[in-house]
Amino acid sequence: MTTEPHIAGRAPVAVDVEAGKTYAWCACGNSKKQPFCDGSHGGTAFSPVVRKAEKSETVYFCMCKHSGNKPFCDGSHEKV
């Protein structure tokens, strides 16, 4: 079983989230609908990080999947 996530990208992606809407961030890196989960984590040790947006704003989702503040980018992509 894979324990390291696939690096989907080396820079975050900006998304305008809507208050009250739920977002499922892909933790495994295999989704074809990055940065969100499309179910491709099946058979891996990963499951999506689900968060409800508290307000409408622009957030930066991690694409390298190594952030220390998942699902958001914390700059860790510089080191992976």
Closest CA to 34 of 20, 53, 13, 50: 13
Size of the site for ligand FES (CB under 6 A): 25
Binders of ligand FES among residues 17 to 46 (CB under 6 A) are 26-28, 30-31, 37-41, 46
Is the torsion defined by CA of 45, 15, 9, 12 positive or negative?
negative
| 8 near ligand FES, judged by CB under 6 A | no
Dihedral pair phi/psi, residue 46, rounded to 5°: -100, 155
- Residues of this chain that interact with ligand FES (CB under 6 A) are 11-12, 26-28, 30-31, 37-41, 46-48, 62-64, 66-67, 73-77
